[in-house]
Amino acid sequence: MCTTSARIQEAPESEELACMLCGQIDVDPSICGPKHVDFGICVHAFCAMFSTSLLQKARILNRIVVLRPEDIRHAIQQAEQKHCFICGKRGASITCAETGCERSFHLPCTLEGECVSQHFGKYSSFCQEHSPQQAVEAAPEQDTSCIICMDPVGDKKSYSTMVCPACKHAWFHRACIQGQATCAGINYFQCPLCRDKDKFKSEMFIMGIQIPDRRPTWEDNNAYALLGDRHRRCDVSECLYQRGREQAEGEGPWQLLLCRSCAAEGTHRHCSYLSNSTDTWECNTCASMGTGKRQTATCHRAELGKLVLKAALPKPLSPRRDVSLSNGRAEGLSF
């Protein structure tokens, strides 16, 4: 039988230890979280949080999840008895949360196996067969591109191709939206197009996107706080709404539609002679660039850009005798 120590020694030339739960040395921290070593234990924070039954043995102190080293060692021993249904190796510490399903897997294997791990509540994980699916009824138009990386998306919703549940027009790759979540943090994470937050974040949590509970990586004395504001103005040359360009209603002819491509220009439905059933519109600037099909109102300018930032790992927690995982959305682990 392959032992924990044997798995750690799979890379003898490296001085860095492998996680005792997933057996990996170098993995994306947005998937497994930071790695911590003490008490003879080396584990990733999220590998510990998602390990079946381990979280049930934790104590909650001031929003900190505290695990005993002996409980983690027991979880490691149990994992050695299970094979990952994705890679076939031992040490699969996570079991599908669906009742009756016995598929086990490593956390770093979830992307390849199209599994979903939910970073909230009970920290449940699901295999491909039982993973949640987006309920929104939408399909990408031909040649639709990811709004983040601009590469093509698939021809339908899938594990790797997702859509905003609020506007239904922002399509993106799972990996791309995870990168945005890592940079933005919980307070600034929103749809890249319509900038909806509540419905968007709720859906992304359920679909397995890990959203750090911290400030955005780009924030510097709130210098960029206005970038999170949604455009709220009718920009047609002659606005017909009696209450003015800055006002709008929640539905009907005076509801404000934002450009489906840049979200930097808006129009009331009636100001662009759109029917009440029309829920999509594109400004002339974007239409002339070939980003969509609609071209009705005159827009003066549109700004479309991409910001690429590196995510910073959270600072270590203060030392404790027990293994500690920071609360509901675990960011770190310390001993």
Report the pLDDT value the prediction gives residue 82, as an integer from 0 to 100.
Answer: 93
Query: Amino acid identity, residue 302?
Result: A
Q: Considering its fold, how many domains does the chain have in total? A: 3
Give the best-scoring range by mean pLDDT among 38-52, 108-122, 216-230: 108-122
Same domain as 127, residue 8:
yes
Mean predicted confidence (pLDDT) in 171-177: 96
Mean predicted confidence (pLDDT) in 147-154: 94
pLDDT digit string, tens, across residues 34-46: 887 888 899 998 9
333 neighbors 323 (Cβ within 8 angstroms): yes
Report the pLDDT value the prediction gives residue 185, as an integer from 0 to 100.
Answer: 92
Same domain as 180, residue 81:
no
Q: What are phi and psi of 178, to 5 degrees?
A: -65, -40
Mean predicted confidence (pLDDT) in 65-75: 87
**% of residues, the chain, pLDDT over 70:** 79
20 neighbors 323 (Cβ within 8 angstroms): no
Same domain as 138, residue 85:
no
Residue 240 has pLDDT above 70, yes or no: yes
* Structural domain for 288, as ranges: 232-306
Give the best-scoring range by mean pLDDT among 48-57, 66-75, 187-196: 187-196
Give the best-scoring range by mean pLDDT among 11-20, 204-213, 298-307: 204-213
| Distance between CA atoms of residues 226 and 228, nearest Å | 5
Which of 167, 191, 206 represents a domain boundary (last residue)?
206
Same domain as 82, residue 155:
no
Looking up residue 299, the CATH number of its domain turns out to be: 3.30.40.10
Lowest pLDDT segment from 71-80, 170-179, 300-309: 300-309
Structure tokens of 283?
A: 């400004």
Same domain as 78, residue 32:
yes
DSSP assignments along 127-192, one per residue: -GGG---------PPTT-B-TTT--B--SS--SSEEE-TTTS--EEEHHHHHHHHHHHHHHH---T
Report the pLDDT value the prediction gives residue 112, as an integer from 0 to 100.
Answer: 94
Report the pLDDT value the prediction gives residue 293, as an integer from 0 to 100.
Answer: 39
Cα distance between the two ends of the chain: 29
Report yes or no on 213 lying in a domain: no
| Distance between CA atoms of residues 70 and 72, nearest Å | 5
Report yes or no on 218 lying in a domain: no
pLDDT mean across residues, the chain: 80
pLDDT tier at 7, thresholds 50, 70, 90: very low
Report the pLDDT value the prediction gives residue 290, as an integer from 0 to 100.
Answer: 59
pTM > 0.75: yes or no: no
